[in-house]
Structure 1
Amino acid sequence: MRLDPKLKERARAMRANPTPAEQKLWLALRANRFENRQFTRQTIISPYIVDFASKAARLVIEIDGDTHSAEDRYDARRTEFLESLGYHVIRFGNPDVMENLEGVLSVIGEAMRNPLSQPSPLGGEGF
């Protein structure tokens, strides 16, 4: 399947300019550091770009900033589409990652071990 060149360029630009929360989580996930699983960032699952994905674990992780509060319907459609492809989608807010990285990693680990269960709330906008 050939990827849209504009989508590829946008993903590349997003990888070059991550948000502080994305950068912090990426440092914990990259290079099989987290539970020996490979994650990619700003990954194209056409027609979308997801923040982080583990294709082997069928897991998508989204880090939502303040602008996402107005995009609930878009996010719901996007999540529905990704779930139709067999992905489990979990979302965290920027404050969740910046202030409680260990809690975020705990929820990610639980989602990878039990892909059909929903992550338990820890607090913050994304939990």
Structure 2
Amino acid sequence: MENLPCSTKLKSRAKSLRKAGNYAEVVFWQHVHKGKFHKIDFDRQRIIGNFIVDFYIKTLGLIIEIDGESHNEKEDYDEKREEYLKSLGLKVFKTTNFRVLHDLGNVMKELEEFIIENYSLIN
């Protein structure tokens, strides 16, 4: 997806999130960066509108969110955020920190299946 809205006010925040690195996100990143996952290019901590998403695949318009404790008691915010992202024509794949850290193989398989079902790109 080209030309997504982007709040420039969030650039330093996105950069600091990339540097700080939530452990589960770092583990996931190690399995997908540099085309390790079906040669797909992932962006990390991408700004879309007034939000920063964990991972983004530009060629697919796919957001990958790895939710941790910071999302507890933020259901309304997360729901509105997801509605906004979907209104841009984007798809969202969600998992949790726990699953990335304790069941990464199945998370990667589910992501692969999600891409196959929604895009028919991986064979």
**Larger helix proportion of the pair:** 2
Equivalent position of 1:8 in the other structure: 11
Could you tell me the TM-score, scaled by structure 2's length? 0.87
Paired residues for 1:43-54 under 5 Å: 43-54=46-57
Paired residues for 1:1-127 under 5 Å: 3-115=6-118
SS at structure 1 position matched to 2:55:
strand
What is the number of residues matched between the two proteins? 116
| Identical-residue share of aligned pairs (%) | 35
Alpha-carbon distance between aligned partners in 2 of 1:74 and 1:45, rounded to the nearest angstrom: 15
Could you tell me the TM-score, scaled by structure 1's length? 0.85
Q: Which moved more, 1:1-10 or 1:18-27?
A: 1-10
- CA deviations over 1:36-78 (Å, ceiling 9, x no partner): 1100000011111000010111210111111212101111111
User: Which blocks of at least 5 consecutive residues in structure 2 are unaligned?
Assistant: none
Q: Rate the CA distance shift 1:114–1:82 in 2: closer, same or farther, 3 A.
A: same
Q: Rate the CA distance shift 1:4–1:58 in 2: closer, same or farther, 3 A.
A: closer
CA-atom RMSD, angstroms? 1.6
Which residue identity is paired with 1:91? K
User: Which blocks of at least 5 consecutive residues in structure 1 are unaligned?
Assistant: 117-127
**In the TM superposition, what is the alpha-carbon distance from 1:3 to its structure 2 partner?**
4.6
